[in-house]
Every structure is written in structure tokens, then in C-alpha cells.
Structure 1
Amino acid sequence: MNLLRTLTFAAAALIAAGTAASAAPAEPVKASNVVLVHGAWADGSSWAKVIPYLQAAGLKVTAVQNPLTSLEDSAAVTRRALALQDGPTVLVGHSWGGTVVSEVGTDPKVSALVYIAARAPDAGEDFVALAGKYPNPPARAGIVNHDGETKLSEDAFLKYFANGVDATTAKELYAVQWPTAASIFAGRTTAAAWHDKPSFYAVSKQDKTIDPDFERFLAKRINATTVELDAGHLSLVSHPKEVADLILKAAGRAE
């Protein structure tokens, strides 16, 4: 009986060990490329401080010039950028760019998804209604709509969208902010790549454009490897090294 009991315990231990091993997160695929997707009221230059860190690590980096005219247009431009990549690619989105990442990240070249203070909608989801369950951040009051295109007022951009960014850089970013179609915010994705791809999320604790608790909810929902940065919405500008470190982790290149 003692021998039988010993064998039974040994078998149970092996089963438990096997279960634990299968439940352990897989190591990130080592990626060769990174494609960066900017959000609303911005352009590709918003990644300028992150890019050198990624290039120094040996990654090929492409910053998409997101047209911000519709989800379909933005997805098409991003798909064209992905088609030019050779090998595993990390797809990164900031703010509204996370919508594009969720839609396009099903591409077989995409090895991981990174969301920087970003939307992360589910397929077909009414994201506006979901966001409405959280406080309305102050930047939203500064949206100016003209003939279907939106921009942020200078006051809202500098105080709330670019909070935490030095004044000179914030004014430069305000000067290059790209007009954003009002209709894109209600656009619904047809896919949610985060269901099947390893996901990473950087929460901005001082965000005044997307509620930080909403970001935490999204990060948890997509089961993301998450970091919290003491930054405003533009953490990619104010905390580029920390943002780059998360991207490098997703690329399997963290030290």
C-alpha cells in the first residue's frame, strides 16, 4: 500500500508539473521589426524619441503615417507597412492607434501587440459606450470640430494632451497635430487580435485624455503584460526609454 501511495503521489506531482508548465507564459518570439501606429491629433513624428532606442537594439523600425480619415484607411496603410516587413514584427499603437492594432494585428507576420495608453476594442464593440462608463477626461472638452474633422484647441493640447511633456516639445507637437475625422472614434473593428497574440500595455497614470482606470481595465481584459508609467497621455514622448523597453520585451529582446 505504501508503494502504491508513493506512486500515486508521484504521478499527481508529474501531472501538476506538466499543467504548470503548459500554463506558464511562452517566451516572446524574437522579432526583427517594429511597426508603430500613432493616434489621433498626431503624426509619425510622435515616435521620434522612441525610435533610436529600438534601432540601437537592432530592430528595423517603421512609423506609419496614419491618415486618420477612417478605420478602413488607417488599417489599409498599416497593412501595407506590414507587407514590407521581413520576419516577425511587433505592432505598436498609441491612443486611437490601438484600434488599428486590434484590427490589423491578426496578420501572420505580427508576433506581438503593444498598446501605449491605447484603445483596445473587441471585435464589433461599441467602444464609445464602453469608454462612457469611465470619467470623461478634460482633453475631450477641447475638441474642435470643423466640417467633420477634429483638432484639439491649443489650450487643451498643451494642458491635457501633452501634460508632462516639456513646453517647447509640446508646442512643436501642437503645430504638427494631424486633423482627425470625427467619425473614426465610433468605428468598430472586425477583429480583435489580442485574443490570439501576446499583448503588452503601458498605462499612463497621469493621463488626461483617456482615463487611467479605463486603461487598466483594458490591459487586464486583454491579459497584457502591463507597466504603469508616471506620465501623461504622450508617454512615448515624455518617457521614451520606458516605452521602448516594453516594446523590446515584446520583441524578445529585453535584457
Structure 2
Amino acid sequence: MSALSPDAGETTAQQYDGYTTPPEFVIETGEDGYGFIKPDAFAAGFAADANQADAAFLRDTQVPINMSVFATKLDHAAWRTLPTWAVIATNDKAFDQRMLQDMAKRIDAEVTNVPASHAVYFTQPKAVADVIDEAAQQSTSRSR
């Protein structure tokens, strides 16, 4: 889902090379190295298709991001050996849309495009659940 897909030996930060994050998505990093999505831009950058109450709930319940994880190299990329699916939120302001599509192509994912924000799991749960169900069914049928 509108997420990063590094390969073994790569960092998640490297996934941004050559792409531009939309201006609506801003992570403010504190002196402790943890970041939060900027509160006054949260709805526009993360949950533009949520109602005000839900966007406020998501904003106020953020879990801090340890920004150092973006520099950690991946040891193993499961997508190299397992089938992959991608739910791409086409109105996602956390990532450059080209980046999401390019990553999905790179990992040979079965792509479902959903007109939603980065909070697609929250605003379009049925679309996400349908893809998870499809992936589970296909994975189960392959293991028999």
C-alpha cells in the first residue's frame, strides 16, 4: 500500500532518489530524531479524503517515526521471492505518484489503484481488504 519497497542492500531513504515529495506532506523532526507529520498540514498531506473528525483523530494519535530507520539497509527483500500486491492511493500526498507506480512495477506487483489519500486503509477499507483477500486466496491456492 502506498509504501516503500527497497531491495536488499538499499535503504528506504534511497527510494526517494529522483522523486519529489508533494509539498503537502511535511515531517517535522525533533532534536530526539523522531518525526511527526506537521499537524497543521496533516489532513492535506495524509488524509485529505477523511472527514474533519477522522483526520483530526489520525493527526492526534500519530506515533512518532524514528527517522534513523530511513538510513537502515535492508537485509532481505521478500518481494524478490514472493508474489506481491500493491494498493496505490492515487491521491496520496506522502509520495510522488511516479515513485509509487515505479516501485510497484519494479517489484512486479499486481496493482490496484484506488482514488484515495495516504490513509487509504482508513478511508477505503473495503478496497484494501479486497486486495488482501485476493492475495490470501492466491497464496493459499499456490501452496496446495
Q: Same fold, TM exceeding 0.5?
A: yes
Residue 33 of structure 2 aligns with which residue?
148
Deviation of 1:132 (Å)? 2.4
SS, match of residue 118 in structure 1: coil
Structure 2: state its 5+ residue gaps.
139-144
* Number of aligned positions between the proteins: 137
Letter in 1 for 2:28: V
| 1:197 aligned onto 2:96 | no
Q: CA deviation at 1:250?
A: 0.3
Q: Take 2:111 and 2:60, find their aligned partners in 1: how far apart are those partners?
A: 32
Residue 250, structure 1, aligned to residue 129, structure 2: no
1:169 and 2:57 are equivalent in the alignment: no
Structure 1 residue 119: Cα displacement = 0.7
Structure 1, unpaired ranges of 5+: 1-115
- Distance in 2 (alpha carbons) for counterparts of 1:251 and 1:137: 33
TM-score, normalising length: structure 2: 0.89
Given candidates 217, 236, 252, the residue that maps to 2:121 is: 236
Instruction: Give secondary structure in 2 for the equivalent of 1:119.
Output: coil
After superposition, where does 1:5-20 map in structure 2 within 5 Å? none
Matched-pair contact (CA < 8 Å) for 2:92–2:116: yes
Alpha-carbon shift at residue 139 of structure 1 (Å): 3.9
| 1:148 positional shift | 1.0
- Larger CA Rg, structure 1 vs 2: 1
Q: Which amino acid aligns with 1:160?
A: G
Identity %: 34
> In the TM superposition, what are the counterparts of 1:48-59 in structure 2 within 5 Å?
none
**Under a length normalisation based on structure 1, what TM-score does the superposition of the two structures give?**
0.51
Cα distance in 2 for residues equivalent to 1:127 and 1:154: 23
Higher relative contact order, structure no. (Cα contacts within 8 Å, ≥ 6 residues apart): 2
